[in-house]
Amino acid sequence: MKPTGNKVRSIAIQILVISLISFTMGEVALRVYNHFNPSYLFDIESRNKQFRGKPFASDGEFKLNSLGFKDKEFLPKAQTGYRIVALGDSFAFGVVQYDQNYLTLIESKLQQNHPNVDLLNMGIVATGPSDYYELLNDEGLAFNPNLVLLSFFIGNDFVGARRRRLYEYSYLATLFYRFSQIVRSYQGPIIPAGKTLYCDDCPSMTEDRFLRIERGRSAKYLRGNNSFARSMDRALSYLDKIRLVCRARGIDLVVVLIPDELQINQELQKTVRKKFFPDLDANQWDSSLPNRALSSRLNQLGIDHIDLYEAFVASSSQIRLYKPRNTHWNIAGNRLAANLIADHLQKYLK
Question: For residue range 278-307, what is the model confidence (pLDDT) as tens digits?
Answer: 999 989 999 999 999 999 999 999 999 999
Task: Give the 3-state secondary structure of residue 252.
Answer: strand
Q: How many residues does the chain have?
A: 350
Sketch the domain layout of the chain as residue ranges. 47-161+197-348
Half-sphere exposure in the Cβ direction for 184 (13 Å, CA)? 6
Which helix (H) or strand (E) is 153 found in, with range? strand 147-153
* Whole-number pLDDT of residue 192: 43
Q: 47-161+197-348 domain in CATH 3.40.50.1110?
A: yes
CA 231 to each of CA 128, 157, 266: distance values in angstroms, whole numbers, following the listed order = 12, 9, 25
Please enumerate in sequence order all residues whose Cβ is within 8 A of that of 106, keeping only pairs 6 or more positions apart, or say none.
119, 149, 338, 341, 342, 345
Helix axes 102-111, 331-345, angle to 10 degrees: 40
For 223, which DSSP code? T
* Whole-number pLDDT of residue 93: 97
Task: Give the 3-state secondary structure of residue 327.
Answer: coil
* Whole-number pLDDT of residue 186: 43
Q: Dihedral sign for Cα 104, 92, 297, 221, please.
A: positive
Can you list the residues of the chain whose pLDDT is less than 50? 160-161, 185-194
Half-sphere exposure in the Cβ direction for 239 (13 Å, CA)? 32
Q: Say what the alpha-carbon torsion angle 11, 13, 19, 23 is, to the nearest 10 degrees.
A: -170
- Cβ 228 vs Cβ 220: under 8 Å: yes
* Whole-number pLDDT of residue 127: 93
* Whole-number pLDDT of residue 183: 54
The CB-based long-range contact list for 6-13 (8 Å cut-off, 24+ gap) reads none
This prediction's pTM: 0.85
Task: Give the 3-state secondary structure of residue 45.
Answer: coil
* Strand bridging mode 147-153 / 82-87: parallel
Cα–Cα distance measured from residue 17 to residue 9, given in angstroms and rounded to the nearest whole number: 12
For 206, which DSSP code? -
